[in-house]
Structure 1
Amino acid sequence: MTTTAPSPLPTGARVAVVAPAAVIALVLAVAAVLLAPTLPGRIAVHFAADGTPDGWGSPWVMLTVALGLAVVAVALAVAALRARDRRTAATVVLVANLVAGILATGWIAVAASAAVGDGTFPVGWSVLLLGVGALAAAIPVAVLVRAAGPVPANDVTPLEVPAT
């Protein structure tokens, strides 16, 4: 069976697929440059339920992971533009952008808290992390799913089951 290549996405749709991950990577890089001089050698990387830190680590390891994932999310979004199965591509972009958005916003929040605050992590910021991740994931997913072709209904040959 052969499938035809999907029609190319319009420019606005391509931007909507790639821009959220690119914005995450760019904002994270700018925040790292701005916050780097004020960061201590150790920052809180894990918090108890009440927002007090109970785990510590280097700010640079967390930044490297968050920035690396943001760059991977950009690459996956670019690859999704050429994917034959846009629904599968939408799922991949959904996961990548959701996690990249949460990690990037988390690093910025933790770094800002370590640089100017008391080092605690208010519970309300968790909602912000989820909101940024959800928004970064929802935009490209909506575009890719809308641009996906119809699901073939009679694509599989019937299974022959012998009578017993």
Structure 2
Amino acid sequence: MKSSTFLRIASLITFFYFAGHTASIPWTPAVGPGEASVLEAMKAHSFNVLGSNRTYWDLYFGFGVIISGYLLVQAVVLWQLGSLAKREPAQVRAIVASFLVAFIVNAFLSWKYFFVIPLINAILISVCLGLALVFSGRSRATQQIVGHERGEREIQV
């Protein structure tokens, strides 16, 4: 498989991650009186943050929406990197490596503080990005030179 294929798969999984995270709004399982009282306390107590009056609920909900936005942008950028990798796979290596590190950290934090669904998403995305990184190892020019040295014919796509 090519690095572009792994990037496209990572993009689709990231989009699924975005959709699942966003569909879970407001991210609070208020199934009993204990959970409901915590939510009410988060909404009731306000405090000043750098000149703005906020509650813990505002911060909790706002960060959740921000994460949804970032996941959507990551899915779009990974798809675009898949297009770039078709032409010059070696040129996307540094960006793919950055995303790989971010999703490995995401997997660790999901394991440590959250639950299995985001953990699985982050692991699958990390695997795809790692494979994309491996398969983007040589530039197209280098691959063509090596192919010519082996007597292979170049096929124009």
TM-score of Structure 1 vs Structure 2, range by shorter chain: 0.3 to 0.5
More helix by share: 2
TM-score normalised per structure 1: 0.46
TM-score normalised per structure 2: 0.48
